[in-house]
Amino acid sequence: MMRKLLKGAALLGAAVGTAYAVKAYLDRSAGAGGDEVQISFEDGTTEMLSADEAKEFTDIASGVLRSSGR
């Protein structure tokens, strides 16, 4: 049971870090349309997103964090 909690906490931490990085990037480049954002996940995969898609990804991650009580 403790392993599940630790694994969940690690995944949540990765999601928070990713959401924070994307949000910070979008804040710096606000209004610069056409930019792409590269998101790296804990398992080593990466994804290229447009600024609009990255904003949506950040909103979803924030919603997950709010619903988990964090």
Residue 57: its pLDDT value, please? 80
28 contact partners, CB below 8 Å, separation of at least 6: none
Q: How far apart are CA 40 and CA 49, in angstroms?
A: 11
- Structural domain including 24 reads 2-67
Structural domain total, the chain: 1
pLDDT digits (tens, 9 = 90+) for 13-67: 888 888 888 877 777 765 555 577 787 878 888 888 887 888 888 888 888 888 8
